[in-house]
Amino acid sequence: MAVINELIRAEQDGSISFGNYELETKSKRSDFEHNGDMYKVKTFYEITKLERNGMFVYESVPGTAVTGLELRDDGMKFSVEGKEDAQITVELEADTEYKVLLDDVNVGHMMTNLGGKLSFSAELGEADRVNVEIVKL
């Protein structure tokens, strides 16, 4: 299990990691600067949420830990872990079709809504990690 004790951190490869699903009370960190963007994270066992420059990026219910988040022009890539299955919502380009891969398995093509949100479930368990890749079609 690799919770992020500092709530959010920059990785050497240029990605970011965030979230701590082991916390009993809601914790947040604001004004985390990375590559010219400002990030804010809120996390605890019930929910994990990330914003970039005041805009929604990621949310999971219940809380999760995300490592290696890379935001790309054509989607995003990250690894996620938690104590139980999670409903994950990310924001991408509005009204656009994406391919969602969980551990390199194509779980289908999904359309974002007019707000750009895309939701999917990740089957997580004790000590499990799921690699997520979302690619614009």
| Residues 25-51, mean pLDDT to the nearest whole number | 97
Which pLDDT value is given to residue 85? 93
Residue 42 has pLDDT above 80, yes or no: yes
**Residue that is written with structure tokens 């990691």 in the block:** 17
Which pLDDT value is given to residue 46? 97
Cα–Cα distance between 1 and 125 in angstroms, integer? 10
Which CATH fold would you assign to the domain 8-136? Answer: Chondroitinase Ac; Chain A, domain 3 (2.60.220)
Confidence of residue 1 (pLDDT cuts 50, 70, 90): low
Residue 126 has pLDDT above 70, yes or no: no
14 contacts: CB under 8 Å, gap ≥ 6? 35, 70
3-state secondary structure (DSSP) of residue 91 = strand
Instruction: Please tell me the pTM assigned to this model.
Output: 0.95
Confidence of residue 128 (pLDDT cuts 50, 70, 90): confident
Confidence of residue 125 (pLDDT cuts 50, 70, 90): confident
The conformation of residue 107, written as its DSSP 8-state character, comes to: E
Residue 8 has pLDDT above 90, yes or no: yes
Residue 62 has pLDDT above 80, yes or no: yes
Strands (DSSP E) along the chain, which ranges? Answer: 8-10, 16-18, 27-34, 37-44, 47-52, 55-61, 65-72, 75-81, 86-91, 97-102, 105-111, 117-122, 129-136
The tokens describing 46, both together, are 């019930």
Domains in the chain: boundaries: 8-136
Residue 37 has pLDDT above 90, yes or no: yes
